[in-house]
């Protein structure tokens, strides 16, 4: 049986391998050097599985950085398999002197397609590139200054890199590696097998006498950090390798070596706009009792939410840290608060609390007064903003009985819980670490808010490109909370000029819809970063109607061994207008359909192929990955029926989709849907085209 499956997979791969005319999105595989010092210009290489010829724009998730394509002549980049490092392309990059250090996402726009996510670190330190040749032992190690940002690659199995620096007795040195943090959003990071994915770095520091002075494996997720007070004066050797001795040309990294103060977290993690406070600083090489501050005028200018800012520390600024600016009251925990009887009272909701796990198996309890039948929202924000804690939230009664519990959400180790009070009275929210750990970095921020009907927006809207006069399709879905069942209008901010979203909304009784993008025939080649949003009118905690707008959570595709896919949170969505693609048109008729239970409707679909393009095209009304439905647009109770002709091969230009309606279908009025036309690029990647909108009405009778 396994042999048969393997043969089928091979056949599928061969069928899906791209002919020269087939156009897919650009899969970025690495950046080298992966760091650039603020205030400098330099040349870097971005590797891609497909050519980046025709690049005219590079877009970053935050403003400031300028990056330009610098290849002097066309360069082909054929895809050579999942483990290929890709073809290098030169870019000139300029980083302003005031650019905040940190990891940035970028997208490349070419005249043919847009790219997956690339990652770049902006560092405050001079960048040193790993030397060519052997550096696999202390004797062959490369001398680097302090401070510096050393950019290298763990390019092959059993690769070990050594870097040497001068140190003095009593000197405080902090060393951290950016490896997973500068590759975790890349589309295709599989090296070999399911267990060899991202680099898992380990740092080992050897003293002048050859003894191990310090070692660390995991600190920021899989990335390591060492802080040490040097025991003697002399030359120190830093060893960099993968814990599994794995290696690949895509295992790029940057090691920052510094003797300067490094701030990891402020305490508290949030401040009220009306009451700015000084913040204790958690980190290394800091003065005892170090406190940072933010200028009141600067605080007033920041919108509500999380920001990466530099705090004032004496006469200097710290490295950027995450800080939440709140419109409501903020307090810090007061120990002891380990039981409901010791809980601090949150007197006026909404309110925010910053706390910390001060001892093993610590649990922090906070009391709040609830009204019968009212919904409340509890959320911890910690791991997303540099904390080491993996929070668990629990709602307790006065006897300590658990009424509700939650752990992770939104692909993070933070927690969120919606809860409806069964009666009026005092209840308790408890925060603890899943593993009962303690330490300076086990800090969290908890927000308790009276809530009402609410939703979150998710979907398949990672990237899109379309030629003038054509269409593409994304898919949105919502998660409803606190009894919300109303309609949600869906929109997109920042579309390139000449591209529009067909007006749509998710009706009551549904949780998903399609997003049909149309480019006018006159649209010019361009690309922009966009944001999908949902908007609804709901009743607030006070019973009054209010409008809420939520931006969509964005995830990227990540290929895994065997053709599987995973999802990882990212910051960017991109839409590009390109030169003509493989399909010049997808036309569906009729444009209006009305269905009742037991009825069927036939949609005729005709495609127009580009000259010479004869690869298979698959028609569908759902976005699927094998049997998994990743995106849907049909109302519950409506489905694609037997008799549909969905595979167009060779010179075939016409197929059909048959829709059927069951007795439990949800009623909708002129819901815009489209036929999805998919062109395979690889085993698991397709370029998705869309037909003109079809307005679907479903009636019970």
CATH number at residue 173: 2.60.120.380
Mean pLDDT of 72-94: 87
- Check residue 6 and give its pLDDT: 37
Between the CA of residue 642 and those of 600, 602, 659, what are the distances in Å? Answer: 11, 11, 9
Q: Is the pLDDT of residue 1 over 80?
A: no
CA distances from 132 to 88, 152, 249, 486 (A): 17, 10, 14, 61
Residue 339 and residue 314 share a domain: no
Choose the final residue of a domain: 425, 451, 477: 451
- Of 3-12, 96-105, 131-140, 621-630, the poorest mean pLDDT is in 3-12
| 144 in the same domain as 66 | no
pLDDT band for position 256 (cuts 50, 70, 90): very high
Q: Residues 136, 252: one domain?
A: yes
Do 307 and 393 sit in the same domain of this protein? Answer: no
Pick from 151-155, 277-281, 332-336: least confident: 277-281
- The reported pLDDT for the residue numbered 540 is 78
Higher pLDDT, 20 or 47: 47
Cβ-contact 581, 610 below 8 angstroms:
yes
Which stretches of 290-372 are DSSP H helices?
296-301
Q: Which residue among 91, 123, 155 closes a domain?
A: 123
561 and 466 in one domain? yes
pLDDT level of residue 543 (50, 70, 90 thresholds): confident
Give the model's pLDDT for residue 294: 86
Question: Out of 120-124, 476-480, 560-564, 685-689, which region has the weakest mean confidence (pLDDT)?
Answer: 560-564
| pLDDT band with cut points at 50, 70 and 90 for residue 563 | low
Q: What is the mean pLDDT of residues 294-323?
A: 90
Whole-number Å distance between alpha carbons of 480 and 135 = 55
pLDDT at 193: 55
Domain span at residue 674 reads: 1-21+582-701
pLDDT over 90 at 5, yes or no: no
Beta strands in 329-382 (DSSP E): 329-332, 344-345, 351-356, 363-370, 375-381
**What are the tens digits of pLDDT across the range 456-469?**
999 999 999 999 99
The residue among 382, 376, 387 whose CA lies nearest residue 420 is 376
- Shared domain for 442 and 479, answered yes or no, is no
The verdict on whether omega for the bond into residue 33 sits within 30 degrees of 0, i.e. cis, is yes
Whether residue 132 is found in the same domain as residue 252: yes
- 249 and 267 housed in the same domain: no
What would the mean pLDDT of 88-100 be, rounded to a whole number? 98
Give the model's pLDDT for residue 4.
32
What's the burial of 78, exposed, middle or buried (CB within 10 Å: 0-12/13-18/19+)?
Answer: exposed
pLDDT exceeds cutoff 80 at 56: yes
Residue 7: in which H helix or E strand, if any? helix 2-16
For the stretch 295-313, what's the b/e string if a residue is b when 16 or more beta carbons lie within 10 angstroms of its beta carbon? eeeebeebeeebbebbbeb
3-state secondary structure of 384: helix
Same domain, 215 and 247: yes
Residues 131 and 252 in one domain: yes
Whether residue 560 sits in one domain with residue 594: no
Which of 106, 123, 140 represents a domain boundary (last residue)? 123
Looking at the fold, whether 367 and 427 belong to one and the same domain comes out as yes
Cα angle, residue 213 at apex, residues 207 and 214 outer, rounded to 5°: 135
Mean pLDDT of 124-140: 96
Instruction: Compute the distance between CA of residue 619 and CA of residue 633 in angstroms, rounded to an integer.
Output: 14
The total number of structural domains in the chain stands at 6
Give the pairing type, strands 87-94 and 262-267: unpaired
Q: What is the mean pLDDT of the chain?
A: 92
What CATH number corresponds to the domain at position 543? 2.60.40
Query: Which pLDDT band, with edges at 50, 70 and 90, does 591 fall under?
Result: very high
CATH number at residue 35: 2.60.40.10
Whether 96 shows a pLDDT value over 80: the answer reads: yes
Question: What average pLDDT does this structure show over 12-16?
Answer: 38
**Residue 547: pLDDT band by 50, 70, 90 thresholds?**
very high
Q: What is the pLDDT of residues 186-220, one digit of tens each?
A: 887 655 554 567 899 999 999 999 999 999 999 99
Statement: residue 37 has pLDDT above 50: yes
Q: What is the pLDDT of residues 363-404, one digit of tens each?
A: 999 999 999 999 999 999 999 999 999 999 999 999 999 999
pLDDT tens sequence across 222-236:
999 999 999 999 999
Residue 277 confidence (pLDDT):
76
Percent of the chain that is helix, strand, coil (3-state, to 5): 5, 50, 45
Query: What pLDDT does residue 82 have?
Result: 63
Q: Please answer whether residues 67 and 92 qualify as being in contact, where contact means their C-beta atoms are separated by less than 8 angstroms.
A: yes
Q: Is the pLDDT of residue 20 over 50?
A: no
Contact 382, 434 (CB under 8 A): no
Q: How far is CA 137 from CA 146, 206, 237, 517, 639, in A?
A: 20, 11, 9, 55, 63
- The model carries a pTM of 0.94
Q: How many CB atoms lie within 10 A of CB 57?
A: 17
- The confidence score (pLDDT) of residue 455 equals 96
Distance CA 374, CA 360 (A): 34
pLDDT at 12: 36
d(CA 215, CA 181): 19
Rg for the chain, CA atoms, rounded: 27
Among 654, 659, 661, 665, residue whose Cα is nearest residue 691: 654
């Amino acid at each position: 049986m396994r042999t048969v499956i393997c043969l089928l997979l091979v056949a599928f791969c061969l069928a899906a391998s791209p002919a020269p005319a087939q156009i897919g999105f650009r899969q970025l595989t690495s950046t080298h050097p992966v760091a650039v010092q603020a205030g400098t210009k330099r040349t870097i290489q971005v590797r891609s599985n497909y050519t980046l010829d025709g690049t005219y724009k590079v877009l970053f998730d935050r403003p400031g950085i300028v990056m330009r394509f610098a290849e002097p002549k066309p360069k082909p980049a054929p895809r050579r398999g999942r483990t290929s490092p890709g073809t290098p392309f030169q870019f000139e990059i300029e980083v302003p002197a005031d650019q905040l250090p940190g990891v940035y996402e970028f997208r490349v726009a070419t005249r043919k397609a847009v790219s997956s996510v690339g990652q770049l670190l902006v560092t405050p330190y001079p960048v040193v590139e790993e030397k060519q040749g052997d550096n696999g032992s202390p004797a062959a190690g490369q001398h680097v200054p302090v401070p510096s940002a050393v950019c290298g690659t763990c390019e092959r199995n059993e690769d070990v890199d050594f870097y040497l620096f001068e140190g003095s007795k009593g000197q405080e040195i902090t060393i951290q590696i950016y490896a997973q943090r500068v590759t975790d959003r890349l589309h295709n990071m599989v090296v070999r097998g399911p267990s060899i994915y991202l680099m898992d770095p380990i740092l080992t520091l050897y003293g002048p006498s050859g003894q191990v002075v310090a070692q660390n494996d995991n600190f920021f997720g899989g990335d390591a950090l060492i802080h040490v007070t040097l025991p003697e004066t002399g030359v120190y050797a830093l060893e960099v390798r993968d814990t599994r001795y794995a290696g690949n040309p895509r295992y790029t990294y940057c090691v920052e070596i510094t003797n300067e103060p490094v701030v990891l977290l402020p305490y508290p993690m949030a401040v009220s706009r009306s009451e700015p406070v000084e913040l204790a600083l958690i980190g290394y090489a800091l003065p005892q009792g170090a406190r940072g501050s933010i200028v009141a005028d600067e605080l007033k200018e920041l919108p509500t939410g999380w920001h990466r800012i530099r705090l004032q520390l004496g006469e200097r600024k710290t490295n950027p840290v995450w800080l939440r600016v709140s419109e409501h009251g903020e307090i810090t925990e007061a120990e002891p608060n380990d039981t409901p009887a010791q809980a601090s009272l949150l007197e006026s909701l909404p309110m925010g609390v910053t706390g910390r796990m001060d001892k093993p198996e610590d649990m922090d309890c906070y009391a709040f007064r609830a009204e019968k039948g009212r919904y409340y929202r509890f959320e911890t924000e910690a791991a997303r903003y540099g904390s080491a804690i993996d929070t668990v939230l629990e709602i307790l009664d006065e006897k300590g009985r658990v009424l509700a519990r939650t752990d992770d959400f939104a692909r993070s180790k933070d927690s969120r819980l919606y809860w409806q009070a069964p009666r009026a009275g005092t209840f308790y929210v408890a925060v603890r670490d899943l593993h009962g750990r303690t330490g300076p970095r086990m800090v969290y921020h908890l927000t308790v808010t009276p809530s009402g009907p609410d939703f979150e927006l998710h979907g398949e809207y990672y990237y899109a490109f379309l030629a003038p006069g054509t269409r593409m399709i994304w898919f949105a879905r919502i998660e409803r909370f606190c009894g919300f069942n109303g309609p949600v209008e869906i929109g997109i901010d920042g579309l390139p000029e000449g591209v529009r979203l067909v007006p749509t909304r998710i009706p009551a009784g549904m949780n998903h819809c399609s997003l049909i993008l149309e480019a006018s025939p006159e649209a010019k080649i361009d690309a922009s970063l966009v944001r999908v949003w949902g908007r609804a009118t709901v009743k607030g905690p006070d019973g009054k109607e209010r409008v809420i707008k939520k931006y969509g959570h964005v995830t990227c595709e990540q290929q895994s061994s065997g053709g599987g896919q995973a999802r990882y949170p990212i910051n960017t969505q991109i839409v590009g207008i390109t030169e003509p693609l493989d399909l010049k048109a997808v036309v569906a008729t009729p444009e209006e359909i009305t269905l009742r239970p037991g009825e069927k409707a036939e949609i005729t679909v005709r495609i127009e192929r580009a000259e010479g393009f004869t690869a298979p095209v698959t028609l569908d009304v759902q976005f699927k990955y094998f049997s998994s439905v990743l995106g849907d647009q049909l109302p519950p109770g409506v489905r694609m029926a037997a008799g549909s002709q969905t595979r167009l091969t060779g010179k075939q230009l016409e197929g059909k989709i048959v829709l059927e309606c069951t007795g439990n279908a949800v009623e909708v009025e002129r819901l815009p849907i489209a036929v999805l036309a998919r062109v395979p690029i690889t085993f698991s990647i397709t370029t998705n085209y869309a037909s003109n909108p079809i307005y679907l009405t479903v009636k019970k009778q």
